[in-house]
Amino acid sequence: MMDIKACIFDLDGVIVDTAKYHYLAWKRLAAEMGFDFSEAHNERLKGVSRMRSLEILLEVGNIKRTDEEMEELATKKNDWYVEYIRQLRPDEILPGVQKFLDELRMNGLKTAIGSASKNTPLILERLNLSEFFDAVIDGTKVSQAKPDPEVFLKGAEELGVNPEQCIVFEDAQAGIEAAKNGNMYCVGVGKPENLNGYDYLIAGFEGVSFKNIVNNLKK
Which does residue 118 touch among ligand B16, Mg ion, none (CB within 5 to 8 A, set by kind)? Answer: ligand B16
| Window contacting Mg ion (CB under 5 A); options: 11-19, 53-61, 159-167, 186-194 | 11-19
The reply to whether 22 sits near ligand B16 by the rule CB under 6 A is: yes
Sign of the alpha-carbon torsion through 151, 3, 105, 20? positive
93 secondary structure, DSSP code: B
The reply to whether 177 sits near ligand B16 by the rule CB under 6 A is: no
Catalytic residue list contains 36: no
Smallest distance from Mg ion to CB 154, Å: 17
Q: Which is nearer to ligand B16, 78 or 165 (CB)?
A: 78
Sheet containing strand 110-114, edge to edge, reads 135-137, 110-114, 6-9, 166-170, 185-189, 200-202
- Among the listed residues 10, 138, 171, 199, the single catalytic one is 10
Sequence-ordered list of residues with C-beta below 8 angstroms from that of 24, at least 6 positions apart, any chain: 80, 81, 84
Enumerate residues 37-76 that contact Mg ion by CB under 5 A: 47
Which does residue 181 touch among ligand B16, Mg ion, none (CB within 5 to 8 A, set by kind)? Answer: none
Q: Are 122 and 86 in contact (CB under 8 A)?
A: yes
The reply to whether 172 sits near Mg ion by the rule CB under 5 A is: yes
Residues 29, 24: Cα–Cα separation, whole Å: 9
Catalytic residue list contains 17: no
The reply to whether 45 sits near ligand B16 by the rule CB under 6 A is: yes
Q: Are 13 and 94 in contact (CB under 8 A)?
A: no
- Output b/e per residue, 128-161; b: 16+ Cβ within 10 A: ebeebbbbbbbbebbeebbbbbbbbbbbbebbeb
Q: Which is nearer to ligand B16, 6 or 18 (CB)?
A: 18
The reply to whether 121 sits near ligand B16 by the rule CB under 6 A is: no
| Window contacting ligand B16 (CB under 6 A); options: 56-64, 113-121, 127-135, 185-193 | 113-121
- Catalytic residue numbers, as ranges: 10, 12
